[in-house]
A and B are shown apart, each in its own frame.
Chain A
Amino acid sequence: MGFKHLIRIRDLSAADIERILTTAAACKDIFGREVKKMPTLRGRVMVNLFCEPSTRTRTSFELAGKWMSADVVNIAVPSSSVVKGESLVDTAKTLEALGADIVVIRHPSAGAPALLARAVRAAVINAGDGMHEHPTQALLDMFTIQEAKGTIDGLHVVIVGDILHSRVARSNIWGLRALGARITVVGPPTLMPPGLEQLGVQVRHDLDAVLPEADVVNVLRIQRERQHAALIPSLREYTRLFGLTRERLARLRPDALILHPGPANLGVEIVQDAVDDPRARIHDQVTNGVAVRMAVLYLVTGGRHDAAAA
């Protein structure tokens, strides 16, 4: 299997995901080495096109590219550049004319990476688009779960928070479902999009009742703006109902895992004690993110060789 782009987890089969995770495990082996460098992408140009602020995802992609010897260029395009008259498709064609082989794109509009993939020959990797998907985040979450638990099949994964606005939740739902996990999402009804049941997901509002049944709790970030949009009364009440507090840590099974895609609002959706808890894998997630992104870079470029040879 090779694939040209990585736009959404929805497109991937269980076998596709397993392939990426297996490749990521091999990539992670080099982390222990003194010289973290593979020649795989030597001579290739990888552009990080970030139209939305991001530090950790961009850095993670940048390191993944560098450790694989790609020439990495970072471009921060404020979305206001649209006002200046240059469209996303124009920008992408310019990058292509400059020799980009891989474009990693983060964009506030859902569908932007798919639009880009149709406009250019370069491989396009979605680094998060609007409320749509964040495929590499879901892959690194799955990698982290599999690393700790051995398998994902049959696990009960609880995703807590702002599901409505979360691309992380959507990608996780597709991927975890494909690998056989049972998923429960928890949050206020105002932060739940419609049709979740059709995705095979259980919707709950009572975190305390759900926590003791969880193998994994993935805590999502809550944004302050949600209060102003009348989606939640206050962050305080949000924490009271959905925060991973010390009291709730006690309800969590000893072998459960705590994940958070970061950056965390400490004291709001998660407390410091939860981050420091031995069950938390939040720092592993960051490390695994590089491995997973290396695997994706390897596979999208490998897929292109296959396609060219065929």
Chain B
Amino acid sequence: MRRLLKAGRVIDPAGGVDAVLDVMVTGGVVAEVGQDLSCEAEEVVDCAGKIVAPGLIDLRAQLGEPGRELAETFVSGSRAAAAGGFTAVCVRAPYEQAGDSAGWVSFVRERARQGAVVRIHPIGSVTKGCAGNELVEMDELRAAGAVALYDGDRTISRTGVMRRALEYARMVGVPVMVHCEDADLAGPGVMHEGFHSTVHGLPGIPAAAEEIVVARDLALAELTGARLHIAHVTTAKSVALIRAAKTRAVAVTCDVTPHHLVFTDADVDPADANWKVRPPLRPRADAEALVEGLRDGTIDAVATDHGPHLREDKQVEFDRAPAGMIGLETAVPLLLTRLVAAGRLSLPQVIAAMSWHPARILGLPGGTLAPGAPADIVVIDPDVERVYDPIRGYSHSRNTPLAGQRLAGWPVATMVNGRWVFRDGRVVA
């Protein structure tokens, strides 16, 4: 089967491509990218006025299974991903669970095979039970298919354990992903500590709770030479620390979420726990530093942190609600509307941070339209504008403060391995 995507604005950051071109797909791979490709194809899709880019890769999401299938499943979550332009999602164990055995990795692969419409890559944990004391059998997890190791929002508090984890992971060749938060300093905090936490009377998490652990883990990455990936950076000082480490050639990469780029602590509504995320939303100056970090390459990637929760779990007191918001379906239009349209980031920068860079960070297939690459492709229509209604989305959950917001620049088609999974605004797989 040959498919020709005709005359779209092709953005392929791996090759520095940003031009109106045709993309020819043969079977499951990209065959050719060029001007006025004329070879015969069974399907010709007019992409004029649209953006054609490598399928997006999400570095980190929770999909509810096992245990919270009402909130999300691999089926619903992968359909949400397809609708959001993602062709691959790296999945961590949900909520308080630990992906600390090869059993978890096999479970993810099996469930994904049974009904996921995009590629699903399992993320294992770093320590047993994510308790921060004993290392998981890292090589077994890697061999089973884990693409990274991550203890969720349970930062390894014992510095010695973190050092050993990095050393051992280096041998195994699997990246360690970290959530940087000093638990004692964060205390019972539920939002950024600052003027707004004072006004709302909510316990705060100071920026230093993150920066202390970023500094520590950068020092440990330098000590061990291991590959460190810092998840969801949120403060200006964290960005500065990582920038400085990169100039010293420390093997560090990092990501940021769409919500930390766009929202601030001033947006937090204490009567709506959909605003509760971890790490918390930070002040404007931090959000601006995150955008700058993406622009200058200090921040490598954008990850959704897709965190589905039931309405009944979120419609409670702010300090009692679980943290997290869904994001797979809105990442692209949110960034295009609030950052690209506003001239703060270029489209190729956003695409690179969501495709080529995530692929490189974890060594995943895809992320490029180079000939021979898997035909994982997203088509985005920059002119489609609509008011977001999570009830009409594919995710089982609706926990997002974006409901009712007018966003422009939605994915309209997504192809995985040469097959359409999302077409004309509908999941078709």
Question: Could you tell me which A residues sit within 8 Å of B by CB distance?
Answer: 10, 82, 87-89, 107, 109-112, 114-115, 117-119, 129-133, 167, 170, 193-196, 198-199
Most buried by A among B196, B200, B202, B320: B200
| A118-B271, A170-B201 known; A110+B312 contact, CB < 8 A | no
Listed from nearest, the 10 A-B pairs whose CB atoms lie closest are: A132-B201, A195-B195, A111-B270, A109-B317, A114-B271, A131-B201, A110-B201, A193-B198, A115-B271, A195-B198
Known: A87-B312, A110-B270. 8 other contacts (CB 8 A): A110-B200, A110-B318, A114-B270, A131-B202, A133-B201, A170-B199, A194-B195, A195-B194
Interface string of B183-211 (1 = CB under 8 A from A): 00000000001111111111110000000
- Contact between B199 and A131, CB atoms less than 8 A apart: no
B197, B312, B320: the one contacting A109 at CB < 8 Å is B320
| A133-B201, A170-B201 known; A82+B320 contact, CB < 8 A | yes
B201, B203, B315, B319: the one contacting A89 at CB < 8 Å is B315
Most buried by B among A89, A115, A118: A115
Within 8 A of A (CB), among B302-318: 312, 315-318
A88 and B315 CA atoms in complex are apart in Å by 9
A166 to chain B, nearest CB (A): 9
Contacts of A130 in B (CB 8 A): 201-202, 319
- Contact between A111 and B197, CB atoms less than 8 A apart: no
| A167-B201, A194-B204 known; A107+B317 contact, CB < 8 A | yes
A10, A87, A107, A193: the one contacting B197 at CB < 8 Å is A193
Contacts of B316 in A (CB 8 A): 82, 87-89, 115
A68 and B10 CA atoms in complex are apart in Å by 72
Contacts of B312 in A (CB 8 A): 87
Contacts of B270 in A (CB 8 A): 110-111, 114, 132
A129 and B320 CA atoms in complex are apart in Å by 14
B242 to chain A, nearest CB (A): 25
Contacts of A132 in B (CB 8 A): 200-202, 270
Contacts of B317 in A (CB 8 A): 88, 107, 109, 111-112, 115
A191 to chain B, nearest CB (A): 12
- Contact between B203 and A198, CB atoms less than 8 A apart: no
- Contact between B199 and A111, CB atoms less than 8 A apart: no
A132 and B269 CA atoms in complex are apart in Å by 13
- Contact between B202 and A10, CB atoms less than 8 A apart: no
A271 and B200 CA atoms in complex are apart in Å by 32
A225 to chain B, nearest CB (A): 13
Contacts of A10 in B (CB 8 A): 199
Question: Could you tell me which B residues sit within 8 Å of A by CB distance?
Answer: 193-204, 270-272, 312, 315-320
A196 and B270 CA atoms in complex are apart in Å by 19
A10 and B203 CA atoms in complex are apart in Å by 19
| A115-B271, A170-B201 known; A110+B319 contact, CB < 8 A | yes
User: Which partner residue on chain A sits nearest B195 by CB separation?
Assistant: A195
User: Which partner residue on chain B sits nearest A117 by CB separation?
Assistant: B271
A-B contact pairs, 20 of them (CB 8 A): A89-B315, A110-B201, A110-B202, A110-B319, A111-B202, A111-B271, A114-B271, A117-B271, A118-B271, A129-B201, A131-B201, A131-B202, A131-B203, A170-B199, A170-B201, A194-B198, A195-B194, A195-B198, A195-B199, A199-B195
B187 to chain A, nearest CB (A): 9
A179 to chain B, nearest CB (A): 19
- Contact between B320 and A194, CB atoms less than 8 A apart: no
A118 and B197 CA atoms in complex are apart in Å by 21
A114 and B203 CA atoms in complex are apart in Å by 17
A82 and B321 CA atoms in complex are apart in Å by 12
- Contact between A194 and B202, CB atoms less than 8 A apart: no
A194 and B189 CA atoms in complex are apart in Å by 14
A87 and B273 CA atoms in complex are apart in Å by 14
A170 and B195 CA atoms in complex are apart in Å by 12
B398 to chain A, nearest CB (A): 16
A132 and B203 CA atoms in complex are apart in Å by 10
A39 to chain B, nearest CB (A): 34
- Contact between B202 and A87, CB atoms less than 8 A apart: no
Contacts of B320 in A (CB 8 A): 82, 109
Contacts of A198 in B (CB 8 A): 195
- Contact between B315 and A87, CB atoms less than 8 A apart: yes
Contacts of A111 in B (CB 8 A): 200-202, 270-271, 317-319
Contacts of A88 in B (CB 8 A): 316-317
A110 and B204 CA atoms in complex are apart in Å by 12
A119 and B311 CA atoms in complex are apart in Å by 13
A133 and B315 CA atoms in complex are apart in Å by 21
A199 and B200 CA atoms in complex are apart in Å by 13
User: Which partner residue on chain B sits nearest A174 by CB separation?
Assistant: B199
User: Which partner residue on chain A sits nearest B196 by CB separation?
Assistant: A195
User: Which partner residue on chain A sits nearest B270 by CB separation?
Assistant: A111
A129 and B319 CA atoms in complex are apart in Å by 12
- Contact between B318 and A109, CB atoms less than 8 A apart: yes
Contacts of A112 in B (CB 8 A): 317
A125 to chain B, nearest CB (A): 15
Contacts of A167 in B (CB 8 A): 201
Contacts of A110 in B (CB 8 A): 200-202, 270, 318-319
A198 and B266 CA atoms in complex are apart in Å by 14
A243 and B198 CA atoms in complex are apart in Å by 24
B287 to chain A, nearest CB (A): 18
Contacts of B203 in A (CB 8 A): 131
A111 and B272 CA atoms in complex are apart in Å by 9
Contacts of B194 in A (CB 8 A): 194-195
A118 and B202 CA atoms in complex are apart in Å by 19
User: Which partner residue on chain B sits nearest A115 by CB separation?
Assistant: B271
B193, B198, B200, B201: the one contacting A196 at CB < 8 Å is B198
A207 to chain B, nearest CB (A): 21
A256 to chain B, nearest CB (A): 27
A130 and B271 CA atoms in complex are apart in Å by 13
User: Which partner residue on chain A sits nearest B192 by CB separation?
Assistant: A194
User: Which partner residue on chain B sits nearest A114 by CB separation?
Assistant: B271
